[in-house]
Structure formats: structure tokens, C-alpha cells
Structure 1
């Protein structure tokens, strides 16, 4: 065995990934990679020591629409992103059924907002710096209204450019929409630039399907066959493909390149080459993990009776410093630089 995939619940990634890396296996971790920068630092160190790849799955980077968005931005067609809005809403069957075993104390933003955090950071970076993080949310459906389990979360992330201009992104997530909602999983993004607006909506870009007694349960009203689909090809064979599969295949191609694509004495050179791929290497995941760690701390404070907290990034108090309203002394979540 050369590689391991870690697809445990989002708060159980670190130990499994750590053990696999210690066993000198290449590792692909489901998003988010981990929940804190200290855990990310540890995995990065272990991957270097054990000379293996440590990667994270962000399949939305391979969505054709998102690839075109990045192409336009990198080619200068879209100039200077100013702000954006992203939304991903999932049905109650997710929180109440599929994830019921582990959902206590969790929130939908850590689970799915990270898709958009990486999309934003990868597409529009790296010539900016993460500046601050804030969040709020609602409780009372999945768990008690005064408990630690969140129905919906509204997250805001602000980046700062070298010219001091800010770019703000609001990301709304939920796992309590009705099970018979036509979109099933409702996804929307909008980004505003100095010279353009990019808007995309999952239900408006593709197929709408209604089949008696089969939609929206067994079959989806608005299926996303770009992500994953089974097809009868024109030449007769049946296949399964999509960008959700593509990113996993890419990981195994990268691991195979390291192990088998040349003489053993050049393995470290091939390993270093694969580690430069910022779309999935954990060394390029610092901003996303910093936001997740900040989000988790803000929601924990809110559940404890102190809503409205703000985390400042790379300020005088430390890499991640949490400020409660009315309290000038911060709680340092991470001392090192993000």
C-alpha cells in the first residue's frame, strides 16, 4: 500500500492523517485538512521527515466553471476582486441522517464553506494577505438553541492587498433546508471586480429533471453531472466520471509519479515537484486552516455566551488573535505567523 485517503468527519482528520504519514504513506485528506494551524504544522513536519505527500481534497477547484473563473482572473480579463458572496445550503437529511452520528458540536461552515475559502484563496491569491475573520450563526433545529451545534453559519473573511485595499467575502452555509427543496444542494457564488461581475448558480447552469416517484429523493431535480455521473457512452461502454473523481485520480497520479516515474535516486526531486502544487498540498492550506480555526473559536465563544467576536490575523498580538466585544485584551489562538 502506497497511499491512504482520510475521509473521516471533519474533526477527526488529524490523528488518522498523522498515523498514515508516520507509516510513510502518501495521504489525501478530505477538506478541511485539519482544524488548527498547530495540527497543520505537525502534519507538514511529519510529511517532510517521512518523505511523503500530504494533500487535501478541494474538488470545486476542478469544476469547469471555477477553472474558467481562475483562467479569466490569471489572464487579466477580470481585474482586482473587491468582494464576493458564496452560499451552499444542504437538506435536513444530511444533518439529521447521514451525519447524525458525528454532528453534535459541529457546524456547516467548517464542513462546506472551506470549498469556497480555497476557491477564493487559490483563484485570487497569492498577492494579498488574510486580515480578519468574523462569523455568526443560528441554532435550535439540529440541536438545542443554546447548544454547540449549529444549523446555519454566516462567515465573513477579509483579505488586504499591498495597496491597502480590502476584499471581503461572505460565505453562508446551512444543513437544514427542506428535504424536498428542488435544488437539494443549493450552491451560488458571486464575485465583483473592478471591471466585472461573475455570477454562478448550480441550479441555473444545467439539467432540470422530474420523474414520478423518483425525484427529488432517489434522483435529484437539478443534478450536477459535471461533478459525478454515470454515463452510457456513444461508443457503447458505461463510465463514471466528473470533477469529483478527477481530483482523486490526480492525487494517485501524483503519488505514482513520485514512486515510479523514474530512477529511485531522483525520487526526492519528484517529491519536491509534486509538493509545489498549491491547489492541493497542505503547505498551501495555511489561510484556509487559519480561517477554520478562527471560525471554530468564534462559534465556541458565541455558544458560551460571548457573540460578536473577531479574529485578527498577523497583528501585533500574534498570528491569530481573538477579540471579544468590549475587551481589548485578545485571546491568542496561534502565536506564529499565518
Structure 2
């Protein structure tokens, strides 16, 4: 594991704890034991705090820190490496892992330039290793249903769409303040919706334009953006086109009732799809807790902790499901006993 920040705690931590407890079974490769073997980070402090708090929920892992941490991690006999650092550090760690012969899973956005993406793709093919990006919103049940209706021809030919994802101000001024200078929320979260649009509707991207606002996270004439409005135009095989607007921000007031504001709307020739992250589920108010310590609207689809009716407590959601899927793919490539070669399975 490279990086042990917010996303590690939300998805990787519960995944590693669950798979340590239950193992990973698939009839193609049998029971696969998955252990968090090593962690690389800048200071090692969070990893050490996690080790102490987790107890027997996690095995003993090597904790590397400092400039050589990734190299030290790769000297361990690990099978795959997960990269969940701030995104401007993704490329170096991912490339080093591929060159060391490891499968790689990278948080979105994978890298910040197309040239870096080409290099990772080439290294993945050269070393015959999986290299994938976590776009967990493709696994959101609502988004999967949207794509199902498109594939089945129920919703016919998208005409235009609107997507928004608004993050609270505490993200930009707290957790991400160390690396946010010179950045924008489109690179950070609009990529989720670019991927959703591209994957769901296909077509060929014709143009990209963007506007934005500054002055809250950084100076009004600086290089750090508070919010962005992205427009994509796609053209399809029948000669028709569609426009998609994606609005993102990380300066929503901290007393906003939801953790994030997520909205998706697509208009088709024969219908309209509306999905709203806060309005699709539950509202809960608790005196003295909501909406600051605990939010009024809960996203139980992405990452929820549940007391199960059959006893015990689980942490589940599409943010964790995507990690399990990648782990199964690695196990299939490396451990499957069928007559096909590892290259064929890859």
C-alpha cells in the first residue's frame, strides 16, 4: 500500500481487514489468502497508528517511510501494489511498481498527463502485469442500472447531460491543503463523470472547454481553483452529437447537510434519467451531531458500516467492492489452475 490517507481509511482499510478475516474464494483458483504486507508513506505515522488501533484485525506489515519508502516496499515479495497518494505522486510509484514486476491499482486520476498514461500502458504491456484505475463510481448501483438501460436499448441515444459533485470546504482547506496549490476540483472529481459518460455512452470526444472561479482556496489571480464548469461534446457513429456539463467544487460550506453533493441528469430521445446522491436515500438528524460531526444525508452505497441481522458488523459498499474485484483479477491471473497460460489469463 502506497499512501495511508483518507481514501485508505475509507476503502482499503476495511477491504484488507475483511479479506484477512474471510479470505478470498473463487472456484477458479480456490481459497486465496490476502495480507497487507507493507505500507509506504512520507512519515509512517498514520500507518503506525493504524497498526496499534487495528489489533488482530490486520496482520503485521512492514512500515516504510521517507524518500526510499516505495523502493523498500517493492523489495518485499508483494504481488500487487495499491497507489493512493495525492495524485501528483501517482506516476512515480506506479511506474516503479510495474518495473518491479508487480500488478498495480491506482486511485483516480491515474496520472496528470497523457504522456505519463502512455508510459504506464507501455510498461504494463512490457512486463505483462495488470495496471488499473479505481473509478468506483462505475460500481455505484444507480450508475450500473443506468448503463444497463442504455445497453438494453431502453434509454435511446443520449442528447445532453449534467453532472455535479461538490465537496465541502474542509477538503480543500484541511485534508488536502498540503498539495492543493495549483490544482482544481475537475482533475480530482470530474474524472469520475468523464469516465461514467465515456463508458456508458461511448462515442468520440470532439471538444473540451472549461471555466472556473478562484479566490477562496487561493488568491483570485492565482493558480488554485475553487470550482470548475467543464463541457464535453461527443459525436456518435450516426453523425449526431451530445453535450455534457460537469460542475465541481471543493468550497461547499462545511455545514452542508451531506458529505458531498452528487447529481447526475441525462436526457435521451425517449426519456430522462435523474439521480441525486442525497435525495435517493436516508435523512437522519441527531441533536448535537448533525450536520457538522455527522451529516444529515448518508451515502450508504459507497461505504457503510452495518450491524448485520445475522450478527456481527460489516463495512460494505461500491468503494470497497472495486478493490475486491481487482484482487480477484490478480488471483485469477496468478493462481488459476485451468490449462490456459498466465499470458492468456492476463
Per the alignment, residue 72 of structure 2 pairs with none
Q: Find 2:181's aligned residue among 85, 104, 107.
A: 104
* 1:21-79 Cα shifts (integer Å, max 9, x gaps): 11111100001111222111110110111110000000011111000000000000000
User: C-alpha distance in 2, partners of 1:167/1:152?
Assistant: 23
2:259 equivalent to 1:191: no
Per the alignment, residue 32 of structure 1 pairs with 109
Q: Find 1:85's aligned residue among 124, 142, 162.
A: 162
Per the alignment, residue 306 of structure 2 pairs with 231
* 1:97-117 Cα shifts (integer Å, max 9, x gaps): 010010000000000001101
SS at match of 2:129: coil
**CA apart distance, 1:210:** 0.8
Q: Which has the higher contact order (CA 8 A, sep 6+)?
A: 1
* 1:115-152 Cα shifts (integer Å, max 9, x gaps): 10111111111xx2110100010000000000000000
Unaligned runs of 5+ in 1: 272-338
Q: Find 2:325's aligned residue among 242, 250, 257.
A: 250
- Cα gap change, 1:236/1:8 in structure 2, threshold over 3 Å: closer, same or farther? same
Q: Is the contact made by 1:10 and 1:110 (CA closer than 8 Å) also made in structure 2?
A: no
Unaligned runs of 5+ in 2: 1-77
User: C-alpha distance in 2, partners of 1:264/1:51?
Assistant: 19
* 1:165-211 Cα shifts (integer Å, max 9, x gaps): 11110000000010001123101010000111001111110010111
Per the alignment, residue 170 of structure 1 pairs with 245
SS at match of 1:14: helix
**CA apart distance, 1:236:** 0.9
- Greater displacement, 87-96 / 212-221: 212-221
Per the alignment, residue 44 of structure 1 pairs with 121
* 1:212-269 Cα shifts (integer Å, max 9, x gaps): 2222233221010111111111011111111110001101111111110126971011
Tell me the matched-pair count.
269
User: C-alpha distance in 1, partners of 2:81/2:251?
Assistant: 32
SS at match of 2:292: coil
User: C-alpha distance in 2, partners of 1:121/1:162?
Assistant: 14
Per the alignment, residue 12 of structure 1 pairs with 89
User: C-alpha distance in 1, partners of 2:176/2:339?
Assistant: 43
Q: Normalising by the residue count of structure 1, what TM-score does the alignment of the two structures yield?
A: 0.78
2:201 equivalent to 1:119: no
Q: Find 1:160's aligned residue among 235, 258, 261.
A: 235
Q: Is the contact made by 1:184 and 1:216 (CA closer than 8 Å) also made in structure 2?
A: no
